[in-house]
Amino acid sequence: MSALLEVVGLSAGYGGVQIVHEASISVSQGEIVTIIGPNGAGKSTFLKAIFGAIRPTAGRVMLDGRDVSGLSANQMVAAGAGFVPQTENVFPSLTIRENLEMGAYRRKGGVNERIDELLARFPELARRPGETASRLSGGQRQALAMCRALMLEPRVLLLDEPTAALSPIMREEIFQQIQAIRDSGVAVLMVEQNAREALAISDRGYVLVAGRNALEQSGREMLDNPEVGRLFLGRIEADAGASPSANAEA
Amino acid sequence: MIEALLPSPMLLLTFSGVANWSVGFFTTVAILGIAVLGLNIQWGYTGVLNFGVAAFLMVGAYATALLTLPPASDFQAYQLGLELPVWVGWIGGAVAGGLLAFIIGLPTLRLRRDFLAIATIGVAAILRTIANTAEGFVNRARGLNGIPRFLGDSFDSSDYKWVLLVTTVVALLLCYLLVQAVTASPWGRVLRAVRDNEDTAQAAGKATVPFRMQSFVLGGALMGFAGALWAHRVGTIAPDAFSDLFGTFFIWTMLIVGGSGNHMGAVAGSVVVGLFWFGTPLIQEDLPQALGSQVLVLRQFAIGLLVVLAVLLMPKGLFPEQARVSRFAPAPPPTGWRARLRIRRSEA
Amino acid sequence: MLDLAQLVIVGLVVGAIIGLGAMGLTLSYGIMKFANFAHGDMMSLGMFLAYAAVTTFGTGALGPFSVGWAMIPALLLAMLGVGALAAGVDQVVYRPLRRRGSSTISMAIASLGIAIMVRALIQMEWGPSPVRYASGINRAWTLPGDLKIRPDQVLIIAAMLIVAVAVYLLLFKTRLGKAMRATSDNAALAEISGIDTERIRASTWVIAGGLIAVAGVMFGIQSQLKFDAGFEFLLPMFAAVILGGIGNPWGALVGGLIVGISQETSTYWIPTGYKTAVPFVLLTIMLVVRPRGLFGSTV
C-alpha cells in the first residue's frame, strides 16, 4: 500500500537556527502514526513544517501522490490535509458554529450539514453551538479544534499534542475520538508527550531526537521496547542488564 | 517658518550667494542635527517611539524665549520675561525638554510602543492647543517676537551669520561627543540590551523602565536645547511653527535616512534630508512650469516618499549599526554598502 | 440647559463622523495589527474625490439638504477610489513588509510617509484654499425645546446608523466578515484553517477605505473641504478606537460619539480654544489607565 503522506528529508527551523534535520516519515491510509521524543526534539516544528505553517528549508512532502512541498498552510487544506496546533487552536471571539464555518471556508455548499454531522459526535458542543469559544473548557476546545480541522473531510489529520494539559478522563476521550476519526477513513499523524497512551492506539511510531529520526517501529513494538520504555514511557527498568535492541531505520 | 529661511535662487548665481546660502543651511542643519541626536538616543538606542518631537522643540524654544525676553509689554502678553543672558536661556531650554520628558514619561513609558507613539502625538497637540489658547501665557497664536540674538550686540549684521554658524556647529559637536561618550559607557550597553530584548535585560537584573526614562530625558533635553537654539536663530516663534510635519516628521525622516542606532548616521541624515528639503526650491527654475509652481508641495510629497522608500529598502538607514556581540568575539562580516564597496575595491 | 442640549446635538454629529472613520481604523488596526497614520488623509481624499465627482455631475440640492442626488454616485465613487488606493498601498508597501517579517512599527512609520504623500497630492490637485460641495444656506429645523438641527446633520446621523447596520451584517452574517473576525483573532490559525489571509487583508483595506470615505463626505457636507481636514481627525479617531477597544467596530462607533459629545459639550465649561484638546486628553487618559478600551480589544 503506497503511503498517503510521505515526508522525505525535511529540514526546518526558526530564524537561522535549524531544528529539524532531514527527518522522514510516512503515513498510510487507515493508519494512526505517533511521533514521540524528548522535549525540544523538534517534533512540533516538524509537524508545522510538514503542514506549511512554517517554511521548510529542504525536503519533500507528498500527499496522495502529489508533491505538496512548499505549499502554504491554506493550500494544504485544499490539498486534503488538516492541522490542529497545540495552543491557541480555536478562534476565541467566534462561536462554536462560526469556528466550524471557518474550517470550511474554502467550501461554499453543504457546510451546515457537515457541521451537524461533526457536532453529533460531540454532544458537549452540540448543546450550545452559539457559545463563544473563549468560554469553553480545555477539553471542549480541543474537541472543537479537531472538528474544525475535519470540516473539509481531509485525507490526513495532523495533531500537535492533542492531549496536552488535559485530565486523564479527557485524554482517554480524545484518544477514543482519534480512533473514531481513523475508523471514518482519515489517517492520523500526531505528536505526543503522553507517549504510552498514544502508542497504545497507534499502528506505527517514530522517535525523533534532536530533530533527526532515531527509531521507527510498529506501535506495539515501541510500547514493548525497553529502551523506549525507559526513556519516554516512564517505565522503571526491572532488569538493568537488558540490552536494547533498537533498530534504527532512517 | 522654515520657508522664511529660503533665499531666492537668483542669489546662488554668485559665489557669495552660494556661501551665504551654505552658512544658513549648515546653521539650520546643525540645530536640527542636535534634535536628531536626541531622537536617536530615544529610538535608535532605547527603542522609545516618540512621535511628539515637536513638543520638545517647542518647550525648549518657549523656555528660552520667556527667560531671555524683556518683561511683557502692551504688544505681547506672556509670562516671565526675565531678560537673562542667552546662554542661560539655552540651558533653560535643555532643562525644559528634559523636564517635559520626565513628566510625560512617568505615565507612558511602560506602554507598548505604538501606544506610546500615539500618546506622544496627543501630548504635542495638547501643548500646541494650550500655547495657542491660554491668555497671557505665551502670547497665543501671535507668537513671541524679538527674541535676542546670541552675541548679537558684539557683531554687525553681515558677520553675524558666521558667528551663528560657528556657535551651532560647536554646539552640535559638543552634543555629539556627549552622546558618543554616553553610549559607549556601561550605561549605553544596558540601553542597547533594553532596546533589543527587554526580557533578557530584565532577567539580567536591570530594571528597564528607569533606563528608558533616563534615555527619554536625555533625548528630550537635547531636543529642548535644539529648540532653544532655533528660537534665537529665527527670533520669532509661534505654536504652529512646531507642527507635526516640521517638528516631528522632518526630524524622523532625518533619523530614518541616516540610520538609527548610530550617531554619525543621525548627523548625516540631517545633512542629506536638509539638502533635499532646502535645496529643491533652488532648482525651481529648472523644473517644468507645472511642477515648478508646486515645488513646495512637491517636496513634501517627496519627503513622504523618501520615508516609505527608506522603510522598504533600507530598514537600517544609510549607516547601519554594526552588530557587536562582545569585544572579545571576532568581528562579524561587515554588512552594508560601505563595507561591500570596500571589499570590492580591495579585490579589484 | 438649552445651550448644553444644543451642544450635545452638535457633539452627536461630530461624533458620528469620528465614529464612522474610527470603524474603518479599528478594523484595519485589529487585522493588520499596526496603527495606520494615513487614515486621516484618506478621509480627506474621500471628501475630495466626491467633490470632483459632484462638480462634474451637478451640484443641485435636493429638498432641505444641501446636496442632491449627485452625491450618491459621488459617494460611491469616493468609496471605491479610497478603497482601491488603500488596497493598492497595501500591495506595494505593507505586504512586502509583512513578507519580510518587519515589525508593526516599521509599518506605522511607513504609513506616516503615505499620509504625507496623500496630503501633498490632494494639495497639488485641489489647491490650498477651502472649497464646498454646495453653496447656500442649509436652514435648520426646529425641534421641541427650541433645539435646532440642520437637515444635513440628520443625514449624517442617519448615514452613521445605516453604516453601523451594514457593518454588523458584514461581520456577523457573511463568510468574509467572519473570516475577518477570525483573522483578527488569530491570523496563523486562520491560515491553518484554509483561509487565505492575504485576501482577507486586501478586502479589509477596501472596506476600511470605503468607511473612511463615507466619513470624509459626511464631514464635507457640513463643513468646508481643506486638504488637511482629515488629518485633524486622525487623533480623535484614534481616541475613539482606543476607547472602544482595538478591533471592535461598535466600540469605535460609541467611542466616536463619546469623543464628539465630550469635545463639543466641553465648551460649556471651558474656553472654546481648548476644545480640540479634549480628544487628546481622553486618548492619553485611556492609554494610560485602560488601554484595552471600555469594551475589550483583540490586540
Chains linked to B by 3 or more Cβ pairs within 8 Å: C
* C–A touching, 3+ CB–CB pairs within 8 Å: yes
> pLDDT tens across B170-195, in order?
999 999 999 999 888 888 887 777 77
Q: What is the pLDDT of residue A241?
A: 40
In a domain, A241, yes or no: no
Say if CB A26 and CB A7 are below 8 A apart. Answer: yes
Q: CA-CA distances (angstroms) from residue C87 to B226, B304, C82, C196, C205? A: 40, 18, 9, 16, 5
In the structure grid, which three cell numbers stand for residue A189, read together?
A: 499523524
Chain A: list its partners (3+ Cβ pairs within 8 Å).
Answer: C
Helix boundaries (H) for C58-147: 71-89, 95-99, 104-126
The C-alpha angle B15, B276, B261, rounded to 5 degrees, equals 120
Q: Are A239 and A219 contacting, i.e. CB atoms less than 8 angstroms apart?
A: no
Cell readout for B308 is 516609505
How far apart, in whole angstroms, are the C-alpha atoms of residue A79 and residue A65? 11
C95 against B162, higher pLDDT: C95
Maximum distance among all Cα pairs of chain B, rounded to whole angstroms: 72
Q: Note the pLDDT of residue B90.
A: 93
Residues C246 and B44: their CA atoms lie apart, in Å, by 28
Note whether B304 contacts C117, CB cutoff 8 Å: yes
CB contact under 8 A, B308 and C93: yes
Range name among A109-118, B78-87, B193-202 with the lowest pLDDT average? B193-202
Q: Which of C114, C124, C277 sits opposite B297 (nearest CB)?
A: C124
- What are A80-101's pLDDT values in tens digits? 999 999 999 999 999 999 999 9
Partner A contacted by C195 (CB < 8 A): yes
CA distances from B301 to A135, B8, B307, C70 (A): 50, 22, 10, 31
Q: Give me the residues paired with residue B333 across strands.
A: none
Percent of all residues in chain B with a pLDDT value above 90, rounded to a whole number: 31
Say if B249 is an interface residue toward chain C (CB within 8 Å). yes
Residues in chain B: 348
- Spatial CB neighbours of A75, under 8 Å, sequence gap ≥ 6: A52, A68
Residues of chain C predicted below pLDDT 70: 1-2, 298-299
Domain residue limits at A12: 5-232
Kindly provide the ipTM of the predicted complex, given to two decimals. Answer: 0.90
Check if C185 contacts A (Cβ < 8 Å): yes
Query: Is the pLDDT higher at B83 or at C173?
Result: C173
Q: Is the pLDDT of residue A129 over 60?
A: yes
Q: What is the DSSP string of A178-196?
A: HHHHHHTT-EEEEE-SSHH
Query: In this complex, which of A90, A98, A152 lies closest to C194 when CB atoms are compared?
Result: A152
CA–CA separation, C43 vs A26, rounded Å?
A: 55
Q: How is residue B6 annotated by DSSP?
A: P
Cell of C153: 446633520
Measured between CB atoms, which of A89, A92, A105 is closest to C194?
A105
Q: Which among C116, C124, C280 has CB closest to B249?
A: C116
Evaluate whether residue A238 is within a structural domain: no
Q: Does C96 contact B249 at a Cβ distance shorter than 8 Å?
A: no
Q: Do C104 and B114 touch (CB under 8 A)?
A: yes
CATH (domain of A57):
3.40.50.300
Please indicate, yes or no, if residue A59 is contained in any of the structural domains: yes
pLDDT class for B337, splitting at 50, 70, 90? low
Name residues whose C-beta falls within 8 Å of residue B12's C-beta, 6 or more positions apart in sequence: B18, B21, B282
- 8-state DSSP, C225: B
Chain C environment of B249 (Cβ under 8 Å): 112, 116
Residue C199 CA: distances (Å) to CA of A102, A190, C90, C194, C204: 15, 30, 11, 12, 9
pLDDT exceeds 80 at position B152: no
Give yes or no for C22 touching B (CB within 8 A).
no
Q: Give the confidence band of B91 by pLDDT, cuts at 50, 70, 90.
A: very high
Domain boundaries, chain C: 2-289
Amino acid, single-letter form, for residue A159:
L
Higher-pLDDT residue of A181 and B76 is: A181
Q: In which band, very low, low, confident or very high, does the pLDDT at B344 lie, cut at 50, 70 and 90?
A: low
Per-residue pLDDT, B169: 94
Domain topology for C2-289: ABC transporter involved in vitamin B12 uptake, BtuC (1.10.3470)
Work out how many CB contacts closer than 8 A connect B with C. Answer: 115
Residue A53 lies in a domain: yes
Which pLDDT value is given to residue B243? 84
Q: What is the pTM of this model?
A: 0.88
Q: State the chains in contact with C (3 or more Cβ–Cβ pairs under 8 Å).
A: A, B
In a domain, A130, yes or no: yes
Residues A6 and C24: their CA atoms lie apart, in Å, by: 45
Interface contact flag, B298 C119, Cβ < 8 Å: no
Domains of chain B from N-terminus onward: 25-320+330-347 (1.10.3470)
User: What share of chain C in percent tops pLDDT 90?
Assistant: 71
How many domains does chain A divide into? Answer: 1
